[in-house]
Amino acid sequence: MAIIGIDLGTTNSACGVWTGQGVELISNRLGDVLTPSVVGVDGSGEIMVGRTARQRLIHHSDRTVAAFKRLMGTDHKVTLGDQRFSATELSSLVLRSLKEDAETYLGEPVTEAVISVPAYFNDNQRHATKQAAELAGLTVRRLINEPTAAAMAYGLHEKQEGLFLILDLGGGTFDVSLLEFFDGVMEVHASAGDNFLGGEDFVDAMIDDVLAEHELSRDALPASAMQNLYLQMEGAKRRLGNAQTLSLKLGDREVTHEVTPEWFARVVTPLLLRVKHPIERALRDANLHPDKVDDVVLVGGSTRLALFRSTVGKMFGRLPSCHLDPDTVVAVGATIQAGLLARGEGLDDVVLTDVCPYTLGTGVINEDNPRLGDYFLPIIERNSVVPISVERHLSTASDNQTKMKIRIYQGENRLVEKNVYLGELSVTVPKGPRGQESVIVRYSYDMNGLLEVDVKVESTGKTYYQLIEHTPGALSEDDKARSLQRLAVLKFHPRDGEENRALLARGERLYESSLGDRREFIADLMGRFEQVLDRQNPLDIARVQKEVKEALDSLESEDWF
Amino acid sequence: MDPWRVLGLEATEDTRAVKRAYARLLKSTRPDEHPQQFQALHAAYKRALGLAEQRARAAAAGDTEPETETAGKRTEKASTATAAGTQPIPPETPEWPAPVVPDDPPAAPVEPEPAFQDQPPPPARDPEPAWAAAREREEEREPEEDEWLAASREHERLLTQCQALLEREGQPAEEKEWRFLANSAWMLDSAFHHGLGDALMARLVERLRQQDNKPPLDAVILAYLNSLFDWEGRRGLLAARFGDTAMDRVLAPLDTNSSGDQALLQGLRGGKETVPPSRQANTEPAPETLYFTGMTLRMVAIVIDLLVVAALLVMPIWVVSIVVADFNGTGGDISLESFMGVFLILAAPAYLLMALVMEAGPGQATPGKRMLGLRVTSLEFERLSFPHNLWRVMAFVVVNALTSKVVILVNLFLKGNLLHDRVSRSYVINWARSQREQKDEQ
Ligand SMILES: Nc1ncnc2c1ncn2[C@@H]1O[C@H](COP(=O)(O)OP(=O)(O)OP(=O)(O)O)[C@@H](O)[C@H]1O
Ligand SMILES: [Mg+2]
């Protein structure tokens, strides 16, 4: 049975399968390779995923959500209509849709996948991704880091050896990986990144500047006006090359706004500085001068920004390269990894070695200055090659202590509270004077970037495994069963007819955002379309579908939507 | 272990050969299949690579005896050696295969240039600022002289403005007043940006000294400036220049700043609302030191509980007895005696039932215990399960009913860890006191 490769992106997702000859990207029910990572619930409670849902983001924003990858690994929930979803559940709906598309394409059930995650994703976020897959009925064979996947695709494509810096700026995350390719070995030297930096933040920065200029706050505008602003700014961001004048509706005011490359550069400078920091950090960690890098490879839709390219170009004294489609290269890499795991034919043997991008450790009492809180004791240092397993001895901090709580953290700050909390486990130790009892804490970090911790009490020899509790965003077995039950009763839009629904949703969006004659024209067009759909004559439907699509295309200013 | 033996090589200076040997062995020692052997192989590879480089360097310098001894610590040594720069280091043999990219980087200088962290950028008022060097390398720019002047003028202008904000009396500056920094087109120039960040830090350190070590910026502004200059990421470099304590003090407010959720929710699109995680158990951590509950408080708790039980029981018994009396034709006249009889028969079981349910419930206490801030826990200081609490209640009955007078006497000397607690392996913790003492300590 095939293992599929999936890029589960903030903005877009895609999947593929290895076919002996090469990677085959799988088109979804609408014939697109990219499925927008947008989930919506319609009036009757049915779930939709992808382009149809994205069309509804503006006028049904209370029933539609996008960019929820940001919430992975947290306990935040999103309400759509009258249902409440966790980010894990929302991701599982996207995965489920991809899985169905793959099953239709392959003509057989699909149960295993390689899923890409940002290299800088923390342990909570990785666990959440794995659980999302499980909720969608997929077993994760491997979580692969997105830049590593991109490098795989790139390395195999270019057959070029050397030292590469992969920069992946997508919709919501930024990743930097420094890796070397030689003799069929792909070795990651260092990874760094920012989990909250991507194309959506650039749009947010633009909007914040406009709102500040007109002395408005985000809350002052109704949700649909905000969504419309996002859409307009997103379009403007993609067309930066030529100066544009946007007319924006801010509440009851209609204003015009000049979008120029200079304005954009000024507004996003803080974000570009945040792009530079992880790049510098990765080079510092690998103890390398930028000149040593043979090629800088750009991945992710936001690397299309000219300003991004020139900023990176200046750091390295040359223009970065991007020979592969930045939108799909991660999916291609994930698929190659899936092919390797299945020992697929026609694949040169490549062995991948990766690193753990964060320092992992635990809290220890800070005796010099208790006021500051506990110190962070690193156990696995960042950029250690994985899989790795490290042991540390810890002893009791007070007399007659009977219980030791091992709190697990990830991060770089020397104060434990400033790092990401991953969970904790408690062990019972025999009573004794302070420092007499000790435990061996072992951290094991696997190929998927998932952490396991076990603790052995030295005097009793008792070992505690897998007892990590209170992990943010994680589902216990009970939660998972409950979640599965809940998702099982959800109704989904049937696969066929999706094209028509996408068109209807698009027509509705255009209708809502148009005025006067144009509006009437659209109403008329869509009315006719609905009539034909009601008659259910496939030939007629196909003909009118094409007509409607063309008519809408001619009205649409946002060609990327 | 000898890295060369692991790799099956003779000691060599040929890094390429080391890589080839590693690659060959790696195919049969895959990280996912043989994690432990892989770690050993990888460590040997890294060591051998370091040794080979060192040999190559030594060979190039005409030194016949490579120092194998320090090789194991290659990474640390390498950086300190370059930073100290005591010895001119000869050019390395190319470490990576030659690039195929047409536009090669500018020719590498003879002396290996240190990576970013090895050399703290020169101080801000250095006669030859850092950007000058960077400028020289960029040919497509205008005449260097003008660029250099423009950069230093901009540097001074921004710094003066910063100084004014820092020294302003009265109302401290707000975050948005600092935004002018990001509006400068020069900020995207690495050398300029590092130079400015460091110069501003120098001002902050100066300010710290003037103000008796009071941090010069509050958490919000500091977080903003840190997002521009990555002071936290460059802390090591800055500490080398300004000293550890000064950096600690200037950056201390960052430790109190938590804007986590905001970053999270920025960028999310749509949705009717987002529901933050309910603040649960672990937001209120257990106090570090827990106290047992003394005899007096335990007695008080029982008295309160009995009053509660009585209040709950009196009404029903009264009503029932009236009905019963009516039925018997005694005309609603009940004797106090029979009333008390019924009450005493019912009170004890009612109390025990209440304890059974409530002590294993979320409050971990009967109403009396709760009022006094007590909690019943297991030896792990966690909530009891129902079977465990059943055991506890039975232990209470058996121990106290059998030998009540002796027990009370013994209990007086047990410092709150009473007989039935011990028998049932549970504790009654004075949670309120534990919390109070913890707070006082802080
Ligand atoms: N021409 C363009 N100019 C600027 N930005 C663009 C352009 N095309 C796409 N983008 C941006 O690229 C982003 C989407 O990129 P991509 O599909 O690579 O992200 P993703 O893989 O879904 O996200 P992530 O990798 O962060 O999870 C969007 O924010 C979009 O605005
Ligand atoms: Mg991506």
Using one digit for the tens of pLDDT, what is the confidence trace for A99-115?
Answer: 999 999 999 999 999 99
A146 catalytic per annotation: yes
Are the beta carbons of A244 and A259 closer than 8 angstroms?
A: yes
The rounded distance, in Å, linking the Cα atoms of A33 and A36 is 10
CB contact under 8 A, A287 and B115: yes
CB contact under 8 A, B32 and A447: yes
The rounded distance, in Å, linking the Cα atoms of B301 and B430 is 12
**Hey, where are the domains in chain A?**
3-197+271-355, 360-461, 498-555
Low-confidence winner among B60-74, B254-268, B318-332 (lowest mean pLDDT): B60-74
A517 catalytic per annotation: no
Question: What's the mean pLDDT in A248-264?
Answer: 89
Does the CB atom of residue A11 touch ligand 1 within 6 A? yes
Q: Take residue B145 and report the two structure tokens written for it.
A: 């002289």
Q: Take residue A6 and report the two structure tokens written for it.
A: 């999936």
Are the beta carbons of B425 and B378 closer than 8 angstroms?
A: yes
The 10s digit of each residue's pLDDT in A406-423 is 889 998 888 888 888 888
Q: What is the best residue among A95, A302, A559, A561 to mutate for testing ligand 1's pocket, by most ligand atoms within 8 Å of CB?
A: A302
Phi, psi at residue B365, to the nearest 5°?
-160, 150
Sign of the alpha-carbon torsion through A335, A336, A337, A338: positive
Is 50 exceeded by the pLDDT of residue B117? no
Using alpha carbons, select from B216, B226, B132 the residue that is nearest to residue B168: B216
Q: Is B89 exposed, middle or buried (0-12, 13-18, 19+ CB in 10 A)?
A: middle
Sign of the alpha-carbon torsion through A79, A82, A88, A90: negative
Are the beta carbons of A177 and A148 closer than 8 angstroms?
A: yes
The rounded distance, in Å, linking the Cα atoms of B388 and B398 is 15
Q: How many CB atoms lie within 10 A of CB A40?
A: 27
Residue B37 contacts by C-beta under 8 Å, 6 or more apart in sequence? Answer: B29
Question: What's the mean pLDDT in B182-210?
Answer: 91
CA of A300 to the centre of ligand 1 (A): 6
- SS3 of A128-191: the string is HHHHHHHHCCCEEEEEEEHHHHHHHHHHHHHCCCEEEEEEEECCCCEEEEEEEEECCEEEEEEE
Q: In what order do the strands lie in the sheet with A375-380?
A: A375-380, A360-364, A403-410, A420-428
Class of domain A360-461 (CATH, top level) = mainly beta
The rounded distance, in Å, linking the Cα atoms of A505 and A64 is 12
pLDDT at B330: 59
CA of A306 to the centre of ligand 1 (A): 13
Using alpha carbons, select from B187, B189, B203 the residue that is nearest to residue B124: B203
For chain A, the residue count is 561
| Interface residue A395 vs chain B (CB under 8 A) | no
| Cβ-based contacts of A230 with chain B (< 8 Å) | 269
Does the CB atom of residue A193 touch ligand 1 within 6 A? no
Catalytic-role residue among A42, A69, A89, A180: A69
- SS3 of A250-309: the string is ECCEEEEEEECHHHHHHHHHHHHHHHHHHHHHHHHHCCCCHHHCCEEEEECHHHHCHHHH
A546 catalytic per annotation: no
Q: Take residue A508 and report the two structure tokens written for it.
A: 């509705």
Residue B303 contacts by C-beta under 8 Å, 6 or more apart in sequence? Answer: B368
Q: Superfamily assignment of A3-197+271-355 in CATH?
A: ATPase, nucleotide binding domain (3.30.420.40)
| A423: β partners | A408
Is 50 exceeded by the pLDDT of residue B119? no
Distances (CA, A) of A186 to A117, A155, A485: 18, 8, 41
The rounded distance, in Å, linking the Cα atoms of B299 and B304 is 9
Distances (CA, A) of A52 to A14, A39, A48: 16, 9, 7
Sign of the alpha-carbon torsion through A342, A347, A349, A354: negative
Sign of the alpha-carbon torsion through A208, A214, A219, A221: negative
pLDDT at A106: 94
Please tell me which residue, B132 or B217, carries the higher pLDDT value: B217
- CB-proximal residues (5 Å) to ion ligand 2: A 9, 170, 300
| Interface residue A185 vs chain B (CB under 8 A) | yes
pLDDT band at A323 (very low <50, low <70, confident <90, very high): confident
| Interface residue A172 vs chain B (CB under 8 A) | yes
List B residues 299-358 in contact with A (Cβ-Cβ < 8 A): none
| Interface residue B75 vs chain A (CB under 8 A) | yes
> What ipTM was reported for this prediction?
0.84
Q: Take residue B343 and report the two structure tokens written for it.
A: 């009450």
pLDDT at A443: 92
Phi, psi at residue A399, to the nearest 5°?
-65, 145
CA of B397 to the centre of ligand 1 (A): 69
The gap from C-alpha A316 to its chain's centroid, in whole angstroms, comes to 27
The 10s digit of each residue's pLDDT in A428-443 is 888 888 888 889 999 9
Are the beta carbons of A224 and A61 closer than 8 angstroms?
A: yes
The residue type at A498: E
pLDDT band at B97 (very low <50, low <70, confident <90, very high): very low
| Cβ-based contacts of A270 with chain B (< 8 Å) | 182, 227-228
B102-B105-B111-B114 Cα dihedral, nearest 10 degrees:
-130
The rounded distance, in Å, linking the Cα atoms of A227 and A223 is 6
DSSP 8-state code for residue A346: T
pLDDT at B7: 92
**H helices present in A418-537, as ranges:** 477-489, 498-512, 516-535
pLDDT at B262: 65
| Cβ-based contacts of B289 with chain A (< 8 Å) | 398
Residue by residue, DSSP assigns A10-75 as: SSEEEEEEE-SSSEEEPP-TTS-S-EE-EEEE-TTSEEEESHHHHHTTTTTGGGEEE-GGGGTTS-
Please tell me which residue, A529 or A476, carries the higher pLDDT value: A529
Is 70 exceeded by the pLDDT of residue B83? no
The residue type at B299: M
Distances (CA, A) of A104 to A27, A50, A328: 10, 17, 20
The 10s digit of each residue's pLDDT in B17-43 is 999 999 999 999 999 889 999 999 999
Are the beta carbons of A163 and A141 closer than 8 angstroms?
A: no
pLDDT at A263: 93
Question: What's the mean pLDDT in B161-174?
Answer: 84
Using alpha carbons, select from B57, B43, B56 the residue that is nearest to residue B2: B43
DSSP 8-state code for residue A452: E
Closest C-alpha residue for ligand 1 atom 8: A301
CB contact under 8 A, B189 and A314: yes
Q: Crossing angle of helices B219-229/A261-285, nearest 10°?
A: 80
The whole-chain average pLDDT of chain A stands at: 88
Catalytic-role residue among A146, A180, A194, A508: A146
Distances (CA, A) of B237 to B216, B344, B382: 20, 77, 46
Q: Given the DSSP bridges, would you call strands A491-492 and A46-49 parallel, antiparallel or unpaired?
A: parallel
Question: What's the mean pLDDT in A203-207?
Answer: 94
Counting one residue from chain A and one from chain B, the pairs whose CB atoms sit within 8 A come to: 219
The rounded distance, in Å, linking the Cα atoms of A277 and B238 is 15
Residue B361 contacts by C-beta under 8 Å, 6 or more apart in sequence? Answer: none
Are the beta carbons of B430 and B380 closer than 8 angstroms?
A: no
Q: Is B146 exposed, middle or buried (0-12, 13-18, 19+ CB in 10 A)?
A: exposed
Does the CB atom of residue A54 touch ligand 1 within 6 A? no
Angle of CA points B265, A92, A510, to nearest 5°: 65
The 10s digit of each residue's pLDDT in B340-366 is 777 778 888 888 888 988 898 888 889
The 10s digit of each residue's pLDDT in B377-430 is 888 778 888 899 999 999 888 887 766 677 777 887 887 888 888 888 888 888
The rounded distance, in Å, linking the Cα atoms of A298 and A182 is 20
A417 catalytic per annotation: no
The rounded distance, in Å, linking the Cα atoms of A41 and A346 is 43
Q: Where are the beta strands (DSSP E) in A365-492?
A: 375-380, 384-386, 388-395, 403-410, 420-428, 438-445, 451-457, 463-465, 491-492
The half-sphere exposure of A502 on its side-chain side, counting CA atoms within 13 A, is 23
